[in-house]
Structures are given as C-alpha cells and as structure tokens.
Chain A
Amino acid sequence: QKEVEQNSGPLSVPEGAIASLNCTYSDRGSQSFFWYRQYSGKSPELIMFIYSNGDKEDGRFTAQLNKASQYVSLLIRDSQPSDSATYLCAVTGDYKLSFGAGTTVTVRA
C-alpha cells in the first residue's frame, strides 16, 4: 500500500488560472508535510512546508492541511508557464520523508 498518494496528472491549466494539487497520506502520526517542485531533468526544490491544520500562504502558493482527513493540497494562483513542472508531496514519518509519485502540471500560454 502506498504511503503517499497523488494524482499523477498531467494537469493542464491555462495561464493565469489556479492549479490545484492533492495529496493523501496513510500515516496518522505524520507531523510535517512538504511540497517540492521538480523541473524535467533537475533536482527537487522545496516550495513550502506545513505542519499545522489550515492554510499557509507564500506568494502565489497556498498549502492546505487537514490532518483529520489525512489530506494536504497545494494551490498555485495566477499560474505561469514557468510553473510547468512535477510537484512532489512529501510526508515525514520514522525519520524519513516519504514522497508521492508526483503530479505533472502544464501551464498553457
């Protein structure tokens, strides 16, 4: 059974729209949740992390966490072509990060 699940996509959105990415996890003891962005052929880079229920905003990005539902999401507002990448959800547990398979986002100009 997968520990972290994401919709694989691809998710195609027009420029300027909101991209919504979802992630569910199985370990109720997980405390911290991360969103990484990975461009093709590059290494993952952190966008933001969240550890409290509710919303956390950073620029055009908003992370949402609901521990009761074991659900974390990422919203990208005013999507730009430069946002086209794979977004990886990662969840802590047992001194390690468990990653989802990623959601590929394509922003259409």
Chain B
Amino acid sequence: DTAVSQTPKYLVTQMGNDKSIKCEQNLGHDTMYWYKQDSKKFLKIMFSYNNKELIINETVPNRFSPKSPDKAHLNLHINSLELGDSAVYFCASSSGLAGGNYEQYFGPGTRLTVT
C-alpha cells in the first residue's frame, strides 16, 4: 500500500487556469505538508497542517490555498496559475510536528507545467 499518495502525477495547464492537487496518507500521521521543488531542485516548505489546523504558512501567494478535510488528506488549490508556478509539488506527512525527530514521508510528487 502506498503510504503517501498524490493525484495527479502530471498536470499541464495554461496560465490563468485553476487547478487542484490531492494528497492522502494512510500512515495515521497527525501532520501533513506541502513542498515546492523548483527547477534547481530546491525543496521549500509551503504549508503544514497538524490535526487539520494550519501551522505553517510560508510566504506563499494567496493564490495557493490548502485544505485539510481530515487528518489523512491535505489538498492544494491554485488559482490563476502563472508560469512561475511550474515545479514539482510534494506532499509529505509525519507523526509529529517538524522540530522533533520525526521522519517526513514524501509522496511521489506532482509535476505541474504551466504554459
């Protein structure tokens, strides 16, 4: 069974469109994250949720809106897509808040290409 899954794996869309990426974890973890990895492979935290509560909201444009309907799911909705949003988006989860010795398990990633 896949521990952290994301859909879709690939997403190609045009500028100005709105799109969503879904993430689910079956590890029973309390904390979930969204990361963005740009073309230079730099992995940067965007959001983190703990028990459905927003913990981290980095300096991300408000076109990005996360939603956590329950502890096992964390979705990412992006409005008015821009060329600079092209990247690989990773979902991750951990049993405790980052800051402790908690391994983060990453999903397979969603490669978003905005044309």
Contact = CB atoms under 8 A, between A and B. Distances in A.
Contacts, number: 56
A101 B45 contact: no
A77 B60 CA distance: 40
Given A32-B101, A94-B99, A95-B48, 5 more contacts: A34-B103, A42-B109, A96-B99, A98-B45, A101-B41
A86 to B, nearest CB: 6
Interface residues of B, number: 22
A43 B108 contact: yes
A92 B99 contact: yes
A12 interface: no
A61 interface: no
Classify chain A: how many residues form its interface, as a range: 20 to 34
Given A43-B109, A101-B41, A101-B42, A32 B100 contact: yes
A34 B43 CA distance: 14
Contacts of B107: 43
B98 interface: yes
A102 B41 contact: yes
A46 interface: yes
Given A88-B43, A98-B45, A49 B90 contact: no
Given A43-B106, A45-B106, A99 B101 contact: no
